[in-house]
Every structure is written in structure tokens, then in C-alpha cells.
């Protein structure tokens, strides 16, 4: 049986009464246990995973041509695209990219005291098309295309599992370094657009999506069946919805966690140091204590 | 223990000069080098040192983070993001601090359960134990305020929910609770003003904890360490000097602990947090489920298990404060649960209760989850208020060994690898292990 938990915790309700009335309808706000989630074997998952540079490049291509027409990536600077551990475009490539970026940034004031629009510089954030949230909503039927900088770490899903399933899973996830729930969710969301069932009451201007909590989402399907962009011959990946969804989620994973490669590599150095030191200390301790185990100190 | 003869010798002229004016080297030598520690301590006794490490690590990483953090409503979230993205090794320091908070609680909970199992709260260690409870409270306050600082959705709503608890005092004196909440917030809702004072207090509390820790260690060095048998130290043969024996063992445990610590820092930095905290605080959007950090979940479950808001708040605070009274609630004269055949079962039931409450605290407060939370909340309190006093009277403890040395070495001095292997009945037990004459 499907369970719709639209119940906020008792205290959350109490808190909400104190706060200004909640802007969203429960259908959007509430989490559901009935989301369809497809797990992906991410290259950057687990304790040894690293980003696949070519995948990040493909993912950026999708982001640039599809997502960027509505979404910003305002916590990520263009220059980051050329830094190690990311898509690693050349600095020239990034300069060429900002020169043609479709959205300008507001700069100034100039010597006349006026603010003005200009092309972004490599040090500027990857700006979206909107000046502010109000403008974004005005152009999007009242919905707000979120900034995607941290989206990959800001999403998760939960399943209504009994504790004898949940607790072993928890142990498994800790042991295998699994932290990809948000990525799986985003991927599932991108491929989750389906025809709404006849008895489903779909809101005006919304789309039906089997992976979204509440199943109706304001974003229209961004990547169609045959893919949204044409990958080059050397991209090494097919032009399918699944592939392009995976690629763009990988790119967003990097955007949210640009130091993952260094983090995991450093992690293993630390781990090896700690394991060896612990073993040596243990041997030393055993030898030291052997003296006093036998006779009174 | 503290009264053991000082073996410190000032060797150089400088050392002598200092020793006559401020004998700090003598104190360190007597308390942390030559200090007698029971020779039968197991690895559960290493968490004190681990906790000291955790506190220092949190302070050091915290000071660095504070150099880059901006405690304002508009910039807090971005400044933490900036630390992770752009500050040199910021991703590592931020992760160490956030994971460090969780590891601090892992260690402190194990430390507390150790104390509960081996009766470390009994005479003459009541003050030592009570100082520990105050440290726990200060840690909780520091952790709660620290969690507010990234100013994500869960930060904001966690602060809103928990500070709002004080409004339940309106049920006692109308208006009092609301007035307290307004005072805590510095306004009529949670704002940047609240954030700024939380930052101030978050920076202050670790030093309060440090002060309490000094008192805790002082009290420990007066009463001496408890040990797995719960027997008092009687002869010099019952102990080994802290350095190198206990220090070496502590080092092994600390490094083993650091493996787990580093595992989370480098491979699972987000696992112990909540994904909603990567969304900037928004007073207009309530998250679907507001849950505290894992280490508060048992207390959160107790809070929600009680149908009445005021009583729920009282139950939550009482669940920690009750620990202050257990030196007198426990009527058994035997310290170590190892020799308490009946209480042993109740102890493990209590451990299960705490784990179950933690699980239930993460679940929505509905249906059978509420019922289970109520059952476990009942046992949580019953354990202290009924089991501890009654079992202590009904139970016949197992025979205690005559001394720590006997427990380790066996009665004729032959070697025993494990200290469970005594009790093979020679003579009368060494009297009451809890030193009731000192109560």
C-alpha cells in the first residue's frame, strides 16, 4: 500500500503556526514514500570513486544547452570549469565560453554612477537568466527555477522500510561509502516524466513525474527520449535521455562537491597512515603490557 | 590516588627554580605520568582520552572556521559554502568540524554507557559523574547552536522548533514562555539576530566545557579511576603507572577511533547531516520532516512521545537531568554490572531502549511509532526510577574477587588472559565494592 505522509511532525506544525503561512501547497512540500527511484552506478560513488572528466564535459554540454536557459549555478565560478578535478576545460576554452555566455551579469556602478550589464568574466559565477526570484517566477508560471549549485547535495529520498531492512542498509552504506541518494533521485527525476494516469488530477501547467514527491512538478521534461543535445563523435556516449540525464547529474554532483577527487584521494592517504600507525601502536602496546600481565608491577 | 607520593625530581636548575614557584611540571608528572591506573582497565576506559582529543580538535577546527565564517542572515550560508569551495583545505576543515561533532557524541555516549555498566557513578565518584552530566549538557547546547550556524533549512527550522519549546511555559504562567522565546530570539521570530547570538555562544561554550573537563579530571584524580571489577585499588600491585601503560593503550584506541573519524570525514562527509541543510534557510517554507541531528534523536523521541507539550518538554530535560540522581537511585552496593546477574539484563534493555528511541526519533510522529516511543520512554524513566532502586535490593550479587590483582593474575598468581575467569570462589568477597561507608 502506498503511503502519503503529508503529516508534518507535531512540532513542525507548531512551528509553522509561528512562522508566516507556508507558501507551497502540501502536494509540493510533503515528502512521499512512493517515489520511483532508479539507482545508478556512479563513477564517483563509493570510497574510491572519482569523477569521469569526459562525463563532466558531456554533462556541462547538457547543462549549458538545456538547464542554463532557466537555472543558474551561481555558487560556481566559470574559472572552476578549468580547475583540476572538474571538467578541466582549458583556460582559453573558459574565456571563449564566457565571451558567448547567453546571460549577462550586472556590474558597476561605473564612473557615472550607473549599473550596467556586461559579459561575465572567468571569475564571475555561472549566472542564470533571471535578475532575481521575482523575475524568474514571472516568466515561469509562478514557479521558481532553483539555483542548481548545491542541488546534488540538497536532495534525498526516503523509503518506508522496517528497521530490520533500514538498519542493515545503513551499515552497508557506511561500510561502502554510499552517499549517492541525491544523485539517484535527480537522475530518476529527469527520466521520470510519464503520461499522467486518467484518474490523476494534474494541476494547471504541471507535469506528471513518478519520481517527484507528490508526482506533479512545475518543470517541463527537460531531456526528451532521444536526448536534448547532440554529443560529438568523440564523446563516447549515446544520445539518449538516460545517458544525458546521467551526465548532467554527474556534472551537478561536481558543481556541488568540486573537491571530491582530492577528498577521496587524500582520504586513502590518511587511512593508510592511520591503519599502519594503529597496528604499530597495538604491537608496541602488547609488548609493553606483556611485562605486567605476568607479575605485579 | 591524588595523595600518592610525588616522585617528581626537578633535575635542572631551571626546573628547580620553577618547581619552587609554580610546580606545574610536578603536577603534570604526578597526575599524568606517574599517576596510578588500575591494571585491569579495558578499552572502554580509553574514551576519556579520546574525548579530550575531540574537544581540542573541535576547538582548533572551529577557530579556523570562524576566521572565514560570517554570522549574518544574508551571508552565513554562502560563507560556509565558500569555506567548502574556495578556502584552502576548507572542505576538509569544515568536514572535520561537522563530522567531529558527531564523533564527539559517539565517544561521549560510549563513555557514559561505560560509566553506567561499571557503576562509575557510585561513591566516591558522585561529583565526578555529575560534572560529566553537566559536560554533556554543555556539549548538547554547543552542538545545537553549532548546527544553526550554516543557516540551512534544517538549521533554521531546528532552531525554530527547539527555541519554541520554551513557549510551553505559557501553560504555567501565561505570557512567560512567549516572553522567554522572544528574549532568546532577540525579536519576534528567528532571524539573523538569533544567528549572531548563537554564534557568540557557540564560540563561548567550548571553553566552558574545557573548564568543566578540568574539574572532571580533577575529581577523577582525587577518587581514582574505577575499573572493570569495581573494586577499590588496595595495593600498589593493583595499579600500573599511567605512562607508559595507560598512555600507550589510549594511543591505540585513539588511532583506531580516528580511522572511523577519517572514514566519515573523507568518504561520507554528508552522511551524518541532513540534505535539507544544503538549502538556504527560508522562513516561508517548512521542510517536510524536521529532524534534529542523530545524537539528539532519543531525546526528541521522548519529547514527542508525551502528548502534552509542556510535559513533553519537561520529560525531555528530565531524561538528561535524571542522570544527576543515579548515584543515589542505584541501591546496589556492587559497582560493576559484571557481578550483578539480575541488573545485567536490565542494563542491556536500557541500551536497546536508547537505540530504539533514537530510531523512533527519526520517524514521523504517527501511528505505531508514537506507541513504541511511549513504551520506550516509559522504560527509559522506569530504568532509573524503578529498576535501579528495586533490583539493587532484590538481587544477590555474584562473588567478587578479593582484589584487582587477583582478578588479573588469578588467585595463585598464575596468568589468566581474561579477567572474567575468576570468581571461582575463594574466601569471602572483598566486602562492598561501592565503599558505602564513605557515602
Per-residue model confidence as pLDDT tens for chain A (297 residues): 333 333 334 334 334 333 333 333 333 334 456 899 999 999 999 999 999 999 999 999 999 999 999 999 999 999 999 999 999 999 999 999 999 999 999 999 999 999 999 999 999 999 899 988 999 999 998 899 999 999 999 999 988 888 999 999 999 999 999 999 999 999 999 999 999 999 999 998 899 999 999 999 999 999 999 999 999 888 889 999 999 999 999 999 999 999 999 999 999 999 999 999 999 999 999 999 998 876 654
Residue with cell 556539549: B139
Report the candidate in A186, A190, A191, A189 with the shortest Cα–Cα distance to residue A151.
A186
User: β-strands A105-107, A116-118: how paired?
Assistant: antiparallel
Per-residue DSSP letter, A24: S
Per-residue DSSP letter, A208: E
- Chain B residues touching residue A186 (CB < 8 angstroms): none
Mark which residues 30-49 of B lie under 8 Å from A by CB: 39
Shortest CA gap A133–chain B (Å): 13
- Low-confidence residues in chain B, pLDDT < 50: 1, 413-432, 436-439
Mark which residues 139-178 of B lie under 8 Å from A by CB: 157, 160-161, 164
Shortest CA gap B80–chain A (Å): 11
pLDDT digits (tens, 9 = 90+) for B51-97: 999 999 999 999 999 999 999 999 999 999 999 999 999 999 999 99
* Chain B residue with Cα closest to A284: B248
CB proximity list for B14: less than 8 A, separation 6 or greater: none
The pair phi, psi for residue B241, each rounded to 5°, is -65, 145
Residue with cell 564517483: A44
Find which of B34, B49, B85, B187 to mutate to test the A interface (most A CBs within 10 Å of its CB).
B85
Identify the sign of the CA torsion B106, B108, B109, B113.
Answer: positive
Residue B251's pLDDT is 98
Give me the half-sphere count of Cα atoms (radius 13 Å) on the Cβ side of residue A134: 0
Report the candidate in B371, B432, B407, B150 with the shortest Cα–Cα distance to residue B281.
B150
Neighbours of B255 (CB within 10 A): 20
Quick check: A293 and B290 CB within 8 A? no
Residue B407's pLDDT is 86
Mark which residues 293-332 of B lie under 8 Å from A by CB: 303-304, 309
The pair phi, psi for residue A204, each rounded to 5°, is -60, 125
Tell me how many residue pairs between chain A and chain B have CB atoms under 8 A apart.
170
B299, B320 Cβ separation under 8 angstroms: yes
B355 touches chain A (CB under 8 A): no
- Three-state DSSP class for A116? strand
Instruction: Kindly provide the ipTM of the predicted complex, given to two decimals.
Output: 0.90
- Chain B residues touching residue A16 (CB < 8 angstroms): 286
Quick check: B286 and A15 CB within 8 A? yes
Residue A56's pLDDT is 97
* Chain A residue with Cα closest to B285: A22
- Chain B residues touching residue A297 (CB < 8 angstroms): 39, 236-237, 239-241
Shortest CA gap A57–chain B (Å): 20
B323, B388 Cβ separation under 8 angstroms: no
Shortest CA gap B182–chain A (Å): 12
User: β-strands A216-217, B36-38: how paired?
Assistant: unpaired
B275 touches chain A (CB under 8 A): yes
Which grid cell is B37? 591506573
Residue A121's pLDDT is 96
Rounded CA gap, B358 and B319, in Å?
A: 13
Residue B408's pLDDT is 83
Amino acid at each position: 500500500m502506498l503511503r502519503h505522509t503529508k503529516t508534518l511532525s507535531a512540532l513542525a506544525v507548531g512551528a509553522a503556526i509561528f512562522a508566516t503561512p507556508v507558501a507551497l501547497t502540501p502536494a509540493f512540500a510533503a515528502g512521499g514514500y512512493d517515489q520511483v527511484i532508479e539507482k545508478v552506478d556512479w563513477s564517483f560513488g563509493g570510497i574510491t570513486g572519482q569523477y569521469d572528466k569526459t562525463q563532466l564535459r558531456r554533462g556541462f554540454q547538457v547543462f549549458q544547452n538545456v538547464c542554463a536557459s532557466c537555472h543558474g549555478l551561481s555558487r560556481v565560478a566559470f574559472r572552476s570549469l578549468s580547475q583540476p578535478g572538474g571538467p578541466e576545460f582549458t583556460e582559453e576554452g573558459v574565456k571563449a565560453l564566457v565571451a558567448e555566455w547567453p546571460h549577462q551579469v550586472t556590474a558597476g556602478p561605473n564612473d557615472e554612477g550607473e549599473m550596467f550589464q556586461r559579459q561575465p568574466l572567468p571569475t564571475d559565477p555561472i549566472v542564470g537568466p533571471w535578475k532575481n526570484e521575482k523575475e524568474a517566477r514571472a516568466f515561469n508560471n509562478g514557479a521558481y527555477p532553483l539555483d542548481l549549485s548545491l542541488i546534488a547535495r540538497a536532495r534525498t529520498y526516503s523509503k518506508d522500510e522496517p528497521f530490520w531492512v533500514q538498519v542493515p542498509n545503513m551499515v552497508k552504506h557506511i561500510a561502502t561509502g554510499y552517499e549517492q541518494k541525491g544523485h539517484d533521485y535527480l537522475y530518476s527525476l529527469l527520466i521520470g516524466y510519464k503520461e499522467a494516469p486518467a484518474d490523476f488530477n494534474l494541476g494547471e501547467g504541471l507535469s506528471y513525474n513518478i519520481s517527484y514527491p507528490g508526482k506533479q512538478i512545475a518543470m517541463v521534461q527537460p531531456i526528451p527520449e532521444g536526448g536534448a543535445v547532440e554529443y560529438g563523435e568523440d564523446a563516447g556516449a549515446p544520445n539518449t535521455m538516460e545517458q544525458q540525464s546521467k551526465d548532467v547529474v554527474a556534472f551537478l554532483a561536481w558543481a556541488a562537491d568540486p573537491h571530491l577527487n582530492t577528498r577521496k584521494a587524500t582520504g586513502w592517504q590518511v587511512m593508510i597512515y592511520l591503519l599502519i600507525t594503529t597496528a604499530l601502536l597495538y604491537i608496541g602496546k602488547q609488548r609493553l603490557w606483556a611485562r605486567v600481565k605476568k607479575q605485579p608491577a | 590516588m591524588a595523595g600518592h607520593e610525588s616522585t617528581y625530581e626537578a633535575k635542572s636548575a631551571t626546573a628547580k627554580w620553577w618547581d619552587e614557584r609554580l610546580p606545574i611540571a610536578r603536577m603534570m608528572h604526578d597526575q599524568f605520568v606517574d599517576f596510578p591506573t588500575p591494571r585491569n582497565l579495558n578499552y572502554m576506559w580509553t574514551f576519556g582520552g579520546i574525548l579530550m582529543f575531540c574537544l581540542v580538535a573541535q576547538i582548533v577546527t572551529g577557530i579556523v572556521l570562524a576566521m572565514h565564517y560570517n554570522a549574518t542572515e544574508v551571508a552565513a550560508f554562502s560563507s560556509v559554502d565558500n569555506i567548502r569551495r574556495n578556502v584552502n583545505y576548507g572542505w576538509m576543515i569544515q568536514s572535520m568540524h561537522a563530522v567531529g561533532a558527531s564523533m564527539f557524541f559517539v565517544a561521549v555516549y560510549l563513555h557514559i554507557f561505560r560509566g553506567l555498566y561499571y557503576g562509575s557513578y557510585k561513591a566516591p565518584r558522585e561529583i565526578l559523574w555529575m560534572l560529566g552530566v553537566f559536560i554533556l549538557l554543555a556539549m548538547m547546547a554547543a552542538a545545537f547552536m553549532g548546527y544553526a550556524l550554516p543557516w540551512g533549512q534544517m538549521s533554521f527550522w531546528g532552531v525554530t522548533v527547539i527555541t519554541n519549546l520554551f513557549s510551553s511555559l505559557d501553560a504555567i504562567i501565561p505570557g512567560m514562555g512567549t516572553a522567554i522565546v522572544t528574549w532568546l530570539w532577540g525579536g519576534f521570530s528567528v532571524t539573523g539576530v538569533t544567528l549572531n547570538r548563537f554564534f557568540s555562544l557557540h564560540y563561548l561554550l567550548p571553553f566552558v566545557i574545557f573548564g568543566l573537563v578540568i574539574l572532571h579530571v580533577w575529581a577523577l584524580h582525587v577518587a581514582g579511576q574505577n575499573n572493570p571489577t569495581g573494586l577499590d585499588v588496595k595495593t600498589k600491585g593493583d595499579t600500573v603507572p599511567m605512562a607508559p601503560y595507560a598512555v600507550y593503550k589510549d594511543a591505540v584506541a585513539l588511532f583506531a577511533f580516528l580511522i572511523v573519524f577519517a572514514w566519515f570525514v573523507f568518504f561520507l562527509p554528508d552522511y551524518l547531516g541532513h540534505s535539507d541543510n544544503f538549502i538556504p534557510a527560508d522562513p516561508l517554507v517548512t521542510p517536510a520532516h524536521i529532524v534534529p541531528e542523530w545524537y539528539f534523536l532519543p531525546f526528541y523521541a521522548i519529547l514527542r512521545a508525551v502528548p502534552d507539550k509542556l510535559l513533553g518538554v519537561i520529560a525531555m530535560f528530565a531524561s538528561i537531568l535524571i542522570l544527576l540522581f543515579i548515584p543515589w537511585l542505584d541501591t546496589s552496593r556492587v559497582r560493576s554490572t559484571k557481578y550483578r546477574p539480575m541488573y545485567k539484563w536490565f542494563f542491556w534493555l536500557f541500551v536497546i531502549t536508547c537505540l530504539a528511541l533514537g530510531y523512533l526519533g527519526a520517524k514521523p510522529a504517527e501511528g505505531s511509532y508514537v506507541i513504541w516511543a511511549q513504551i520506550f520512554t516509559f522504560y527509559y524513566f522506569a530504568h532509573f526510577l524503578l529498576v535501579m532502586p528495586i533490583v539493587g535490593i532484590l538481587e544477590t550479587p555474584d562473588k567478587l574477587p578479593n582484589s584487582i590483582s587477583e582478578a588479573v593474575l588469578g588467585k595463585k598468581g598464575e596468568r589468566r588472559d581474561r579477567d572474567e575467569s575468576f570468581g571461582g570462589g575463594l574466601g569471602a568477597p572483598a566486602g562492598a565494592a561501592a565503599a558505602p561507608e564513605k557515602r
